[in-house]
Amino acid sequence: MPPSERPIPQFIAEPPREQLPYGRWAETLAGHFLDAASRLDAEDDLGEPGPITWFPDRTLWGRTYVPCTAPTSNGFELFGVVSFTREHDGAEARDFDAAVDYTDETAEANPDWQLDLSDHELGHWRGPGGRTGEIAIVWGVALVANGAVATAELGPTTTDQCVLVDDRFTLVSLDNYGGDYLEVKLWGAGGGELASESLYEDY
C-alpha cells in the first residue's frame, strides 16, 4: 500500500473488555465518581445524584476508563469517567481517578435527540507539520431503535467503533484536528446509517 496521506491515529484504544459494572465493582467505581462529584465547584444547586448509568470500558495508554452519567434531583446530569490501572488481566484495580462535570442539557429535555453524547478530554496529539488535536473519550446512548454499532468519524476517516451494549457505547478518538471535528454515527445491523451527531453545535 502507498504511504498514507492522512497519518492520524485510528482505533488506538482497546475494545471493551469487561461487562458493564455491577455489584461490588459498581459500588467501588460509584464511590470514586460521587466523591469527585461532591468536590465540583458548581454555580448551580445540582441537587442529589440519582442512579448511575455505566458505559463500556475502554483502555488507552495502560489506563482503563469507565464512563458514567447520573441524573440529579434538580434536573441536571452528572457525567464523567472513573479510571484505574491493572498490572495484568485479573489483577486488582489500583490508582483510581475520576473526572466529573455536569450539564443542564439532558435527553429528557430534548426529545428530538437521536444520540445522547458526553465527552472528556484524555490528552493531546501532535501530528505532521505541527498540527495538534485532542484525544477524546465519548460515550452515549442511542435514542433510536435497532442500533448495532457506533463509530467515531473525523472528516473522511473512521477513527474508532464500538458495539452497543444495552444501547450504550464508548469511543476514543482524535478530535479538533486539521479543521476536522469529531462526529458520532450510529449504524444498524445491516450497515445502514441510523443517526449522526456532532460534538459541536457550530463548526
Residue 38 three-state SS: helix
Domain assignment present for 2: no
Domain assignment present for 67: yes
Which helix (H) or strand (E) element contains residue 136? strand 132-142
| Dihedral angle, C-alpha 170, 174, 179, 185, nearest 10 ° | -20
% of the chain with per-residue pLDDT over 70: 98
Domain assignment present for 88: yes
Work out the pLDDT band at 203, boundaries 50, 70, 90: very low
- pLDDT per residue over 74-106, tens digit each? 999 999 999 999 988 777 999 999 999 999 999
Residue 42: the pLDDT is: 83
- pLDDT per residue over 99-154, tens digit each? 999 999 999 999 999 999 999 999 999 988 888 999 999 999 999 999 999 999 99
Number of domains present in the structure of the chain: 1
d(CA 111, CA 173): 27
Domain assignment present for 17: no
Domain assignment present for 142: yes
d(CA 67, CA 120): 9
The mean-pLDDT minimum among 61-70, 161-170, 194-203 falls in 194-203
Domain assignment present for 7: no
Residue 201: the pLDDT is: 63
Domain assignment present for 41: yes
Domain that holds residue 30: 23-197
Domain assignment present for 4: no
Residue 2: the pLDDT is: 78
d(CA 150, CA 171): 8
Q: What is the mean pLDDT of the chain?
A: 94
Dump the DSSP string for 74-110: TS-EEEEEEEEE-SSTTSPPEEEEEEEEEES--STT-
